Amino acid sequence: MNVDWDDLKAVLHVVRKGTLAAAATELGVNYTTVARRLARAERALGTVLFDRLADGYRPVEAALVVARHASEMETQSLAVIRGIAGRDARLSGKLTVTAPQLLVGPHLTEVIRTFSQTHPEVDLHLRASNDLADLSRREADLAIRISRTPGDALKGLRLSDQHSASFASPGWAEQIKNTPERTIDWVVYDALGTPPKGLDPRFQNNRVVMTCDDMTAMVGAAQAGLGVVRMPVFLGRATPGLVQVPVLPAQPYAEIWVVAHADVWASAKVAAFREVLVPYFKRNRAVFTS
Amino acid sequence: MNVDWDDLKAVLHVVRKGTLAAAATELGVNYTTVARRLARAERALGTVLFDRLADGYRPVEAALVVARHASEMETQSLAVIRGIAGRDARLSGKLTVTAPQLLVGPHLTEVIRTFSQTHPEVDLHLRASNDLADLSRREADLAIRISRTPGDALKGLRLSDQHSASFASPGWAEQIKNTPERTIDWVVYDALGTPPKGLDPRFQNNRVVMTCDDMTAMVGAAQAGLGVVRMPVFLGRATPGLVQVPVLPAQPYAEIWVVAHADVWASAKVAAFREVLVPYFKRNRAVFTS
DNA sequence: CAGGCGATATGCAATTTTGCATGTATGAAT
DNA sequence: ATTCATACATGCAAAATTGCATATCGCCTG
């Protein structure tokens, strides 16, 4: 009575994805192989695990039992990878950093330049991304996030306060200055849907002209003169074609954090990167706050 | 960054056993294979895991990290096996029962006869053994133990009280009856080392003639007339060539329990076996107590 | 009701993994 | 010093696993 651990992994992925093909893609093998691993697992456990349907493999209850434990095994295997990475004392090899796209251009490039001059042996990968890269799966070693929460198993350090303010094209700035009573168009986040709270009382007429789910796009819209956008002050100031407008006074915004999984926080490369990153943000605090 | 789970298993076993050959035996593969799996794991993790010494593989610290997590993976894989076995509703297939050797002859054979007549489809395996079969590893589904403790993750049911008393060969019985003042020789467990507490005050001269670590051997010694042995009453009464002697009055002894891992306790075959076992001991309570 | 899509099944060949046989090194016992 | 036992290293052939090409099945759409 002995099961192949990798067969359990196959069961786990088929339970998760529902089809052989999807599971195979995740596992990086041919789906035929997945089918055969399932068959082997069923033989080893002496029980049927899936109903073979025309539209996929449907797990029977026993497969859910397997998947529950296999999932815990996966957690442990990820912990192995992090544990090894976290003990890595070399200042060489791969280091993956993830950061919001908009922070990269104006700021991180400079941090990265300094870092790679100091540590030329490190093979630095940057994932510019807004989705939270999964630090548990070690898709990135270190993340720079605009958020107050470091997350559960993660360790973090606050890099900087931030303020936001309202920015728009010079045309809008002119109009707002000259005729503050005219309607002001806003481009806002989907999640909000309305112009921000805390507007200066001089400006009474505000409406939303567009909502959007991506700040890069909103910056583009603002540059094109579509309306006013609330954004972090570092971004508005650094974006050509935008000027600050007094509609929304500067107000606190989400802080900037650097976070990593606790297991890899102390590793040499991650620590070395922090040693460049933290002083940079300390020096440039004025850029992020009003 | 992806590790083969079975490679982690290889690391675990080599850490535990210290040599390729020993780990290979446990894994049921050739040691060459183990060596290659370690090499693959080291390549995948990008770190050396073992010092290759002439007298074995010595784990470096990173290997201990791996082993810690792999051990947890092993626990989960065992839980899978038990979880599947525990859901098994069939009254067919393999069922492994373990019991102390000395209970088998006089009693369990009858239980087994009844069980296998009622459930002829069950492939019953009996492991007569004194060492606690590892119910976590499912080396047995169900254990009959002489002990008060069901154990940690185990579920149990008390089958019977037990009393012990002193037994010896008819020659000794004669001598004890006629000349109670003469020295009485004892054969006792290693763990004790001295004649039992609670002797009848009529018998003042007692000495240990031999200590032993196995009850079967002690029974043999008693039959051969070496001395008096304290044993469960069911055993003394059922053993030809032994008679009870009044040196040690009957006194409580370890209870008889049936235990199983909680995961498999409710499975059909284990439940069915209990349904024969428990009434048998209920009916025969008098055989085990004085 | 024909055709296309998405999903699984299966035979066969390529590749990978495994085991065996043999060789080497080290330390303990004679 | 020699021998023996134990443990690892490696080349090669056998066995097992894998991927590919192709076939099949059911469903939805037009």
Domains for chain B: give ranges and CATH numbers.
5-86 (1.10.10.10), 91-290 (3.40.190.290)
User: Token digits for A58?
Assistant: 């449907």
Q: Which H or E run contains A54?
A: none
Residue type, A195: P
Give the up-direction half-sphere exposure of residue B9: CA atoms within 13 A in the CB hemisphere: 21
What's the pLDDT at B53?
Answer: 83
> CA A192 → CA A102, A187, A189, A210, distances in Å?
20, 10, 5, 11
pLDDT in tens, chain A (290 residues): 689 999 999 999 999 999 998 999 999 999 999 999 999 999 999 999 998 887 889 899 999 999 999 999 999 999 999 999 999 999 999 999 999 888 887 789 889 999 999 999 999 988 887 777 788 888 899 999 987 666 678 889 999 999 999 999 999 999 999 999 999 999 998 888 889 999 999 999 999 999 888 888 899 999 999 999 999 999 999 999 999 999 999 999 999 999 999 999 999 999 999 999 999 999 999 999 98
Q: How far is CA A267 from the centre of its chain?
A: 21
pLDDT (tens digit, 9 = 90+) per residue, B27-58? Answer: 999 999 999 999 999 999 999 999 888 788 98
Chain C nucleotides with an atom closer than 7 Å to a protein C-beta: 6-11, 17-21, 25-27
- Give the one of B3, B77, B88 whose C-beta lies nearest to A80's C-beta: B3
Q: Which nucleotide is nearest to B52 (CA to C1')?
A: D8
Give the pLDDT score at B150. 61
> B-chain residues within 8 Å CB-CB of A2?
28
Q: Give one DSSP letter per residue of A85-96, joined into a string.
A: HHT---S-EEEE
At residue A196, φ and ψ (nearest 5 deg) are -60, 155
Secondary structure string (H, E, C) spanning A225-249? CCCEEEEEHHHHHHCCCCEEECCCC
Residue carrying structure tokens 């073992």: B50
Q: Among B188, B232, B233, which residue's Cα sits nearest to residue B206?
A: B188
Cα-trace Rg, chain A: 25
State the smallest CA–CA distance between residue A81 and chain B in angstroms.
7
Q: Which nucleotide is closest, CA of B53 to its C1'?
A: D8
Distance (Å) from the C-alpha of residue A92 to the closest C-alpha of chain B?
12
Q: Are A86 and A265 in contact (CB under 8 A)?
A: yes
Residue B30: nearest nucleotide (C-alpha to C1'): C19
- Which chain A residue lies closest to B96 (C-alpha atoms)? A1
Q: Do A76 and B80 touch (CB under 8 A)?
A: no
Assess whether B37 (CB) lies less than 7 A from strand C.
yes
Q: Which segments of chain B does DSSP mark as H helices, in order?
A: 5-17, 20-27, 31-45, 61-86, 101-103, 109-118, 170-178, 215-223, 233-238, 262-265, 268-283, 285-288
Asked if the Cβ of residue B32 lies within 7 A of any atom of strand C, the reply is yes
| Backbone torsions φ then ψ of A200, nearest 5 degrees | -65, 130
Question: What pLDDT is stored for residue B107 in this prediction?
Answer: 87
**What is the Cα–Cα distance from B156 to A196, expressed in whole angstroms?**
64
Residue in A closest to B68 by C-alpha? A80
Q: Report, in angstroms and rounded to the nearest whole number, the Rg of chain B calculated over CA atoms.
A: 25
Among A234, A187, A219, A233, smallest CA distance to A206 is for A187
Protein B57 CA to nucleic acid C17 C1', in Å? 22
One-letter amino acid at B209 equals: V
Note the CA–C1' distance, A56 to C6, in angstroms: 9
Cβ contact (<8 Å) for B8 and A79?
no
Is the minimum distance from the CB of A54 to strand C below 7 Å? yes
pLDDT computed for residue B192 by the predictor: 82
* Cβ-contact B137, B228 below 8 angstroms: no
Q: How far apart are CA B17 and CA A31, in angstroms?
A: 36
pLDDT band at B160 (very low <50, low <70, confident <90, very high): very high
Measure CB to CB from residue A84 to each of B28, B62, B70 and give the nearest one: B62
**Three-state secondary-structure class, residue A209:** strand
Asked if A9 and B5 come within 8 Å (Cβ–Cβ), the reply is yes
Residues of A in contact with B47 (CB under 8 A): 84, 87-88
Q: Which backbone phi and psi does B271 adopt, to 5 degrees? A: -65, -40
Are B97 and B144 in contact by the 8 Å Cβ rule? The answer is: yes
Answer for B181: CB within 7 Å of strand C.
no
State how far the Cα of A55 lies from the Cα of A154, in Å rounded to an integer.
Answer: 39
Strand partners, B259: B143, B156
- pLDDT, residue A139, reads 86
Contact B66 A77 (CB under 8 A): no
Q: Which chain A residue has its CA at the smallest distance from B137's CA?
A: A1
Residue pair A83/B63 in contact by the 8 Å Cβ criterion = no
Which of A172, A242, A1, A204 has the alpha carbon at shortest distance from B78?
A1
A21 touches strand C (CB under 7 A): yes
DSSP class of residue B262 equals H
Identify protein residues whose C-beta is within 7 angstroms of any atom in strand D.
Answer: A 6, 29-30, 32-33, 36-37, 40, 54-55; B 19-22, 31-32, 35, 52-57
From chain B, the residues in CB contact with A138 under 8 A are 1
Please indicate whether residue B66 or residue B139 has the higher confidence score (pLDDT): B66
Token pair 């198993």 in the structure block, residue: A153
Q: Per the CB < 8 Å rule, is A46 touching B93?
A: yes
Residue A162's H or E segment, with its range, is: strand A154-168
The amino acid that residue B249 corresponds to is: P
Count of H helices and E strands in chain A?
A: 12, 11
Structure tokens at B42: 């080291």
3-state secondary structure of A267: coil
Answer for B51: CB within 7 Å of strand C: no
CA angle A215, A219, A222 (to 5 degrees): 135
Taking the C-alpha atoms of residue B183 and residue B174, their distance in angstroms, rounded to an integer, is 13
Please calculate the CA angle B24-B29-B31 and round it to the nearest 5 degrees: 45
pLDDT of residue B50: 93
**Which residues from B are below 8 Å from A61, CB to CB?**
87
CA angle B107, B108, B110 (to 5 degrees): 80
Torsion (CA) A275, A277, A282, A287 in degrees, nearest 10: 170
* Interface contact B5-A73, CB threshold 8 A: yes
Please give the pLDDT value at position A148: 63
Closest Cα in chain A to B12:
A80
Residue B233, burial from CB neighbour count under 10 angstroms (0-12, 13-18, 19+): buried
Nearest CA in chain A to B63: A84
Beta bridge partners of A50: A59
